[in-house]
Amino acid sequence: MAKAIETPIQFLKGVGPKKKKLFTRLGINTVEDLLDYFPRRYEDRSNFVTISKLRPKDLQTVKGTILIANLRKSWRRHLFIFQAVVTDKTGKIACVWFNQPYLKDYLKVGREVILYGMAEEHNGRLQLNNPEYEILEEEKDNLSIGRIVPVYPLTEGFTQRFFRKTVKECLDEFLPRLVEVLPFDLRSRRKLLNLAQSLLNIHFPATFELQKEAYQRLSFEEFFLFQVPVLLRKLKIKQAAGISHAIDENFVREIINGLPFKLTFSQEQVLGQIKKDMASSRPMHRLLQGDVGSGKTIVSFISSALAVKAGSQVAFMVPTEILAQQHFENFRKLFSGNRKIKLSLLTSGLKKEEKQNLYKKIKSGDVDLVIGTHALIQEDLQFKRLGLVIIDEQHKFGVSQRQLLPAKGKLPDLLIMTATPIPRTLSLTLYGDLDISVIQEMPGGRLPIETRLFNEEGRAKVYDFIRSRIQVGRQVYIVYPIIEESLVLPARRTGGDLRAAEKMYDELKTKEFKQFKVGLVHGRLKEEETQKVMEEFRKGKIDILVATTILEVGMDISNATCMVIEHAERFGLSQLHQLRGRVGRGSEQSYCLLIANPETAESRLRIKAITELRDGFRIAEEDLRIRGPGEFFGKRQHGLSVLRIANPLTQMHILKDAREEAIKLINQDPGLRLRQHAAIRELIGKKYPEHKEVILGG
């Protein structure tokens, strides 16, 4: 069956090379891809709503005949309006489509159409604005009429009718040859449909009840297949022999007592969990979650000192050079005096000779703790006794990148940190191979950050507020969006954004805030230029720092108490929360001012959430709800980013059930060697290549 289901899509009846290109646009290259391409919604066409019974503000489906159709150009330049009047036996409804002039070639007078949309009042009458449409052919299509009909997300060039026909023919041919993945006893326990029934009823449900059962079965399978390799990895870690670090409690107390602040109860609790892990002979694999500014970094500093005291080297990887430099300076202060630790900073900006000398020192063991960016995972870098790996802001690194650094030692302890908290149950599922610690409280003496929204007309008020902050001795960030900024920015994708940020900097420096010192940082500056500007800002020599999203992680300047975010609607919700966390680092009241013009429903939801919510876990939940799992976790993240149908936020109960069954399977057959588990083993190796060595070595 493996070969059959991998049949290229172009060999299906009616497809061919031309249509294959359209399928490729949808990410469909094989029969398997097509079967896994699910409808986005369904229409009950066994009973249409008649035009006379249309209700305003409800999404409804009607069937009728086009009575009038015309295309005109509006007084607005380049805006075409296509209008049609559709009638059935009970009445007429006006329909309007904006900027779709090609509709004149499809929606012609006399054609029978199905329309789906929301009726709204216009000049005292109901009207359908931009409804989805489908033209009914003269021959009545039994896949598009008189039943529950699937509606797929399609690209231009496809019709729903053709796509349904192709899916149905594919199901008819391949369903009898499908290999069932979930064992019979599991399906019986959980009352799940078999695979063939599920695929048939997710595409062409006989009833909505069967569609729901199919949805649950396919969601369960996705969650289950994700959980198995994660749990296998955890089992492998727990069975391995790692490094047992001797923990010197007097040394721990000496460090804590020397801090200029008191650790919170949460920090003490998490530190206790880390110490226990480090003392164990099993390798530590721990995820430390905590909201922006909760104090994760100091916990990692203390953990690093313990590892060095016990004779190990520490590698601390962060996503940006600014953050690496800041951690380096903070470590140097923390380990001054009688706690001498040999520190080094490794970034891609180092000159070749400096880098080679540092490599030699690290390899010989003459460096205890090295802080760096992606440069730490270069092949040439070798450690003498790597015993602890810390990865900060783990979501900024791909799965394969996160695995490269620990591989430079002999099963070192691993501490992964994130300021993008997600609900605990979901954490246990997504990071099932890691033990999880959460810092749940903020350091004392901090006030909640006030978040305010302004439109373009309110810009003068924002500028007045900035002046008032600087006049009382505070500093200000002004953040400008650059899409997908990284350490090396592709000019063709970000050039326009960057020019806008630079233009804004020039205007602010020479006009609005010419009496103040204004600085600029962005990802295309040389490292030494960035460090110079940041150092001046840190020392208070710069009043206003215009920056791009390189500020998203790690900046910690307590005198900066105001942040302005330009075009806030262009940022993701979690990103807005991360940026906001750069202020509010001291005891002074801090402010986050958003200048935004949210035009889409999604951007309005994001802006509403960031102005109303403060708690990072609540914000992450809302972000997951708005964007869905694929976008939330990102393409580089394993697991939930590849889900095609399951939704961890709305199907938590199914996710828990799938985890329980995955644990039961691993306990019964840790190597997936039993014949009845061969299909699971094969499919996981295919779906999750990053876990392949765990499965094959199971």
| Residue 380, domain CATH | 3.40.50.300
Among 527, 459, 616, smallest CA distance to 320 is for 527
Q: Are residues 257 and 368 in the same domain?
A: yes
Token duo for residue 644: 């095609």
Among 400, 363, 405, 355, smallest CA distance to 383 is for 363
- Residue 486: the pLDDT is 38
Q: With respect to residue 475, please indicate whether it lies within any of the assigned structural domains.
A: yes
Q: Residue 434: which pLDDT band, with cuts at 50, 70 and 90?
A: confident
Q: Cβ distance 269 to 290 under 8 Å?
A: no
Q: Which of 597, 613, 629 is at the close of a domain?
A: 613
Q: With respect to residue 54, please indicate whether it lies within any of the assigned structural domains.
A: yes
Q: Are residues 94 and 141 in the same domain?
A: yes
Q: With respect to residue 388, please indicate whether it lies within any of the assigned structural domains.
A: yes
Q: Are residues 488 and 406 in the same domain?
A: no
Q: Are residues 461 and 604 in the same domain?
A: yes
Q: Are residues 413 and 477 in the same domain?
A: no
Q: With respect to residue 173, please indicate whether it lies within any of the assigned structural domains.
A: no
Indicate the number of domains in the chain.
3
Q: With respect to residue 436, please indicate whether it lies within any of the assigned structural domains.
A: no
* CATH number where 82 lies: 2.40.50.140
Q: Are residues 589 and 535 in the same domain?
A: yes
Among 661, 469, 649, 426, smallest CA distance to 564 is for 469
Sign of the CA dihedral running 363, 369, 370, 376? positive
Q: With respect to residue 435, please indicate whether it lies within any of the assigned structural domains.
A: no
CA 394, 396, 399: angle at the middle one, nearest 5?
A: 65
Token duo for residue 677: 């588990």
Say which range, 129-133, 144-148, 415-419, has the weakest mean pLDDT: 144-148
Q: Are residues 466 and 403 in the same domain?
A: no
What does the alpha-carbon distance between residue 637 and residue 632 come to, in Å, rounded to a whole number?
Answer: 9
Q: Are residues 256 and 320 in the same domain?
A: yes
What does the alpha-carbon distance between residue 527 and residue 321 come to, in Å, rounded to a whole number?
Answer: 7
String of DSSP letters for 199-245: HHHHHS-SSHHHHHHHHHHHHHHHHHHHHHHHHHHHHHHHHS----P
The order of strands in the sheet holding 369-372 is 343-346, 369-372, 313-317, 386-391, 413-418, 285-290, 435-439
What does the alpha-carbon distance between residue 566 and residue 596 come to, in Å, rounded to a whole number?
Answer: 7
Q: Are residues 139 and 99 in the same domain?
A: yes
Q: Cβ distance 314 to 307 under 8 Å?
A: yes
Q: Are residues 523 and 477 in the same domain?
A: yes
What does the alpha-carbon distance between residue 388 and residue 369 come to, in Å, rounded to a whole number?
Answer: 9
What does the alpha-carbon distance between residue 277 and residue 283 come to, in Å, rounded to a whole number?
Answer: 7
Helix, strand, or coil here: 452? Answer: strand
From first CA to last CA, the distance across the chain in angstroms is 24
Burial class for 687, CB neighbours closer than 10 Å (0-12, 13-18, 19+): middle
Q: Cβ distance 429 to 220 under 8 Å?
A: no
Q: Which of 145, 164, 194 is at the close of a domain?
A: 145
Q: Which of 557, 583, 613 is at the close of a domain?
A: 613
Q: Residue 483: which pLDDT band, with cuts at 50, 70 and 90?
A: very low
Mean pLDDT, the chain, rounded, equals 85
Q: With respect to residue 223, please indicate whether it lies within any of the assigned structural domains.
A: no
CA 537, 541, 544: angle at the middle one, nearest 5?
A: 60
Task: Kindly state the average pLDDT of the residues 255-270.
Answer: 89
Q: Is residue 637 scored above 50 in pLDDT? A: no
The pTM of the full predicted model, rounded to 2 decimals, is 0.71
Q: With respect to residue 381, please indicate whether it lies within any of the assigned structural domains.
A: yes
Per-residue pLDDT tens over the stretch 449-469: 999 999 989 999 999 999 999
Domain residue limits at 138: 47-145
Per-residue pLDDT tens over the stretch 549-599: 666 555 678 899 999 999 999 888 888 998 898 898 878 899 999 999 888
Q: Are residues 459 and 390 in the same domain?
A: no
Among 323, 604, 319, 644, smallest CA distance to 485 is for 319
Select the more confidently predicted residue: 441 or 669: 669
With tokens 């021959």, the residue in question is: 139
What does the alpha-carbon distance between residue 293 and residue 563 come to, in Å, rounded to a whole number?
Answer: 15
Per-residue pLDDT tens over the stretch 283-299: 999 999 888 778 898 99
Q: Cβ distance 555 to 488 under 8 Å?
A: no
Per-residue pLDDT tens over the stretch 509-554: 999 999 999 999 887 777 778 878 888 998 899 999 998 866 655 5
Q: Cβ distance 589 to 561 under 8 Å?
A: yes
What does the alpha-carbon distance between residue 74 and residue 100 come to, in Å, rounded to a whole number?
Answer: 13
- Residue 136: the pLDDT is 81
What does the alpha-carbon distance between residue 107 and residue 119 come to, in Å, rounded to a whole number?
Answer: 19
- Residue 375: the pLDDT is 87
Q: Cβ distance 175 to 19 under 8 Å?
A: no
Q: Are residues 489 and 557 in the same domain?
A: yes
**DSSP conformation class of 512:** I
| Residue 83 Ramachandran class (φ > 0 left, ψ -120 to 50 alpha, else beta) | beta
CA 48, 52, 53: angle at the middle one, nearest 5?
A: 60
Task: Kindly state the average pLDDT of the residues 104-133.
Answer: 89
- Residue 243: the pLDDT is 92
Task: Kindly state the average pLDDT of the residues 244-268.
Answer: 89
Q: Is residue 476 scored above 90 in pLDDT? A: yes
Cβ-Cβ contacts under 8 Å for 363 (sequence gap 6 or more)? 382, 383, 384
Instruction: Give percent helix, percent strand, percent coil of the chain, each to the nearest 5.
Output: 45, 20, 35
Token duo for residue 468: 């008032």
Per-residue pLDDT tens over the stretch 332-359: 887 776 567 899 999 887 888 999 999 9
